[in-house]
Amino acid sequence: MQAVRLHAYHEWPSLDSVPEPEITGPWDVVVRIGGAGLCRTDLHIYEGQWAPKTGIALPYTIGHENAGWVHEVGTAVTNVEVGDAVIVHPLITCGLCRACRDGDDMHCDTQAFPGVDTDGGWAELLKTSARSVVKLPAGVEPADVAAHADAGLTAYHAVKKAVMRGELLPGTMAVVIGAGGLGHIGIQSLKALCAAEVIVVDRSPEALELAETVGADHLVEADGAHVERVQEMTGGGAHAVFDFVGENGVVQQGFDMTRRAASHYVIGYGENIDVPTIDVISSERSFVGNLVGTYNDLAELMVLAAQQRVTLHTRTFPLSDAVEAMQELHHGRLQGRGILVP
């Protein structure tokens, strides 16, 4: 089969012929890929940022946002059948550890992360597990929702967490920093799950235009005076800030947009948090990390996708144009999410 393989860090991957994955365990599921999302994490992998964390041997197949159709199943699999349309939770989990039994799939003790620390889905076929596949509602096509497997899941998980913490009640205000591939999903998740007013901050007029079309209540251009404008609009700061950028000074800006006892949800990444601890304890503000989401989060998101309440702004590329797609994202020319289709 054809697969996009990374052979060396800081060198663009290549399209290679590799053996098809095989069923080796009773809970294995092989998915025929119908769409695979392109994420900024794929650029960070290319840059070598994940190498110290994963220790993976090169070459390997990247791609961690995957959806398609069940191609083959192990002998114990009963939740899906060959031909079922599915979206793939980004992690392969054991189901037996404390985290899995608590429903916190992304903290599994023995997890594998296809596309990050093992072969992923920028290929014709992907091997995963029965615990990782979510059947798609009727009428939902894999290529239309593939990016929800990570981008959508991560954005939804962060918003749901804030809602469950009671931070986004009616009368509150939330700030979304970055209205791109993740941010435009976060905006829709906020509008679907809570009554908070949503302020979107971005430096791109095109991104702000997209934010408005998906439900943003207020738009603020990041022009150097945006922190002060948000502070004024919110009466001293937002009740929650969702940072989908996480670099180029945005972490400090986002923290400065929060009010006392508010939370800064860190979703995008790339720089360090460098905030005086006295500023944290004196105002009881919090930083909250977000790593993808749970299986149940993904199942809930698919309901919203089927209801057209959370949709994806996408641009498709054939699998053979994976490098072109990565370069488009790298140079900021890709609005929304890129989807590779074998």
Q: Using an 8 Å Cβ cutoff, are 61 and 123 in contact?
A: yes
Using CA atoms, how far apart are residues 190 and 215, in angstroms rounded to an integer? 9
* Burial class of residue 331, CB neighbours in 10 A (0-12, 13-18, 19+): exposed
The letter for the amino acid at 35 is G
Distance in angstroms (rounded) separating the CA atoms of residues 288 and 293? 14
Instruction: Judge contact between 46 and 12, C-beta under 8 A.
Output: yes
Catalytic hit among 41, 61, 128, 154: 41
| Helix ranges restricted to H, the chain | 40-46, 51-54, 98-101, 142-145, 151-164, 183-193, 205-213, 226-234, 250-256, 277-281, 295-306, 322-330
Phi, psi (rounded to 5 degrees) for 317: -135, 145
Residue 107 bears catalytic tag: no
Of all residues in the chain, what percent are helix, strand and coil, respectively (each to 5)? 30, 25, 40
User: Do residues 25 and 74 touch, judged by C-beta distance below 8 A?
Assistant: yes
Give residue 230's identity as a one-letter amino acid code: V
Active site residue 44: yes
As given in the structure block, the two tokens for residue 224 are: 């150097």
Q: ω before 19 within 30° of 0 (cis)? A: no
Task: Identify the active-site residue in 7, 24, 44, 277.
Answer: 44
Q: Give the active site residues.
A: 41, 44
